[in-house]
Each structure stands twice: as structure tokens, then as C-alpha cells.
Amino acid sequence: MENNLKLVTATALLLLCLHAANSQDMAHAVLKDKQGKGVGHVELTGTKSGVRLQLVLNGLPAGERAFHIHEVGKCEPPFDSAGGHFNPEKHKHGKGPSGHAGDMPNFTVPKDGQLKHEVVNAAISLEKGKPNSVFHAGGTSIVIHQGKDDYKTDPDGNAGDRIACGVIEPGGSSAVAPAKK
């Protein structure tokens, strides 16, 4: 009986440690539009090649959209509170390693407004204390813009209004259900 109790205790501790290690490599953001309606969520997971962002969108207008990480963890409509693009290395706006850390590829929302999209961003980190960590003082947010990013106009890619925003928070979002229409 005592050995079984030790085994159960050791297993529980191992599972807690694994969960703690995994939650340090995860983050999430719940996306809302300017009216406060949920339009999706993003799960961020640390990988060897960067941070994987998995978007699940529901209810955004159809069309090509810019998708960025912004420098402030605040999403008050019209979402100017999110600040500019996350850019800890002070690069000019653009694609790839010479662009802002928060610049990511455009995506296209289909007519039904539902989209699952995945991208890996090698310029950001979920590790607190790193210069490119999304968990710096003041936080960060994810913003979706009305238009597409042209990847050349500084500072924002001429992407238009901000139509959805979500603050990046530590931990996985498995408890967050996809947004409903």
C-alpha cells in the first residue's frame, strides 16, 4: 500500500512538472473586434525554430488581412492602445529578419469568416527576460488589420484600421473555446 502511494505521488509530481514546463512554452490571446465580440483566439507555442502561432478565426470580414504582434498588452477600441509593432531591435518595417519582430505574413479570410492559420515567427520568444520576449514590461498583443501589409511602408505596412485585438497572456488556451458568431 505504501509503495502504491509513493508511486501515485511520484506520478502526480511528474505530471505537474511536465505541465509547468509546457505552460512556460505556451501563451494565448483571445481576439475581439471593436464591439467586444469574440472573433477568435491564437495559441503560441515555443518550438526549436521559433514561436508557432495557431489562429482560429470566426466572424472576421472576408479579405486579405495583416497580422502583427504589437508592443503593448492593451486592447481598447479602436486598438491604438496596443501601440506600434513589436520591434525590440528597432528594425525598419518589412519581411524576414530585417523587419520588425512583430511582422508576420498576411492571410486571407474566406467569405464565411472562418479560418485556421498557422505561422512560425523566429524573431520572437516566450522566454521571459529575453530582449525579444513577448512578456516584457507592458506586455504585447496580437492585432489584425483591415487591409493587407505591403511590407515596405514604415512603420505599419499601410495595413489600415485595426479590426481585432487580443492581449498575449502566459499559458495555453485549451480552456478557450473558438469564438462564436
CATH for the stretch 26-170: 2.60.40.200
- Three cell numbers written together for 1: 500500500
Q: Where are the domains of the chain?
A: 26-170
Per-residue pLDDT reduced to its tens digit, 124-178? 999 998 989 999 989 999 999 999 998 887 777 889 999 999 999 999 764 444 4
Weakest mean pLDDT among 94-98, 100-104, 105-109: 94-98
Per-residue pLDDT reduced to its tens digit, 9-42? 343 343 434 443 444 589 999 999 999 999 999 9
Q: How confident is the model at residue 2 (pLDDT cuts 50, 70, 90)?
A: low
| Residue appearing with cell numbers 520588425 | 100
CB atoms within 10 A of CB 114: 16
CB atoms within 10 A of CB 40: 27
Cis check: omega of the bond before 155, within 30 degrees of 0: yes
Task: Give the pTM.
Answer: 0.81
